[in-house]
Amino acid sequence: MAPALRRINSLFLTLELCSRRNLSVAVSLRVASKGEKASQYAQGETHFGFETVKEEEKSSKVHKVFEEVAHNYDKMNDCMSFGIHRIWKDIFMQRLSPVYGTRLLDVGGGTGDIAFRYVKYLENSTASLDPNQAESHVTISDINKEMLDVGKTRASENGILTSAKRVNCSVDWLEADAEKLPLPDNNFTAYTIAFCIRNVTHPQKALEEAYRVLRPGGRFLCLEFSHVENEALRWLYDQYSFQVIPAMGQLVAGQWKPYQYLVESIRQFPAQEEFKEMIEAAGFRCVTYENLNFGVVAIHSGFKL
């Protein structure tokens, strides 16, 4: 057998063994009650995927993950979701339905996927209001400089800044922690966060910050991986997640561990009803959620009233 073929076979055997181990852990965690899940961490500890870490360590570990995947982020998203993530994000922007004059804060949006859709949505708007009569704005915030750098490059290459000028929309980039935003109170009319909040050490603090920076009447909108309710579909989803995605990350992006963390972090994130309660606890009202693709992802919405 050729050396290259032996190495590939060895890689897949290793990944299969690791995937089976982690799939077993995923099933064990799912059957635990919320109280049991909370009690597995000592004070000052949290999860990093299925690994228990000190709270102060999680931020740096997550930072390293996204530093490693930044330049392959779009390619891997397309591979893992077969391009469906683009549809999810389009639906997400349709649910926001921004108008001229919207002041949007997009948190964890370094590569610009949501912010660019916001600009394009305004550009394609059929509203009769002259955009020059109402200045729009978007602040793209991310804790990871590498992700922001990718977003800035994409904005330049895809003419986003030109489109933004056309609709009188200013664009800012901000390197910041979602739990400690260096922004004034009551400053934005909309807050979006897509595929990010599960990576935050204290999601409740991030929700409270979202509430703080929004103006009264402002809207919170979150797009995040969630929990598939149907048992048969959930089994298929687990098989794909743990046995295919990490191997795909290794073969396409040369990275296995970041994508192992990805699937583990999804299983650790609260289910739809539990996350709804967390959003309400932060002060939001009229809180709802909408499942997409049987709950693979969910859009959560709330208002600051």
Binding residues for S-adenosyl-L-methionine: 111, 142, 177-178
| Residue 206 burial class via C-beta count within 10 angstroms: exposed 0-12, middle 13-18, buried 19 and up | buried
Detail the residues annotated as belonging to a binding site: 111, 142, 177-178
Closest among 137, 106, 107, 105 to 119, alpha carbons compared: 137
C-beta separation of 203 from 193 below 8 A = no
For residues 90, 96, 102 and 108, what is the CA-based torsion angle, rounded to 10 degrees? -70
Q: What is the DSSP letter of 40?
A: T
What one-character DSSP code corresponds to residue 270? P
Strands of the sheet with 136-142, listed across from one edge = 169-175, 136-142, 103-107, 188-194, 214-225, 297-303, 285-292
Are 248 and 80 in contact, with CB atoms under 8 Å apart?
Answer: yes
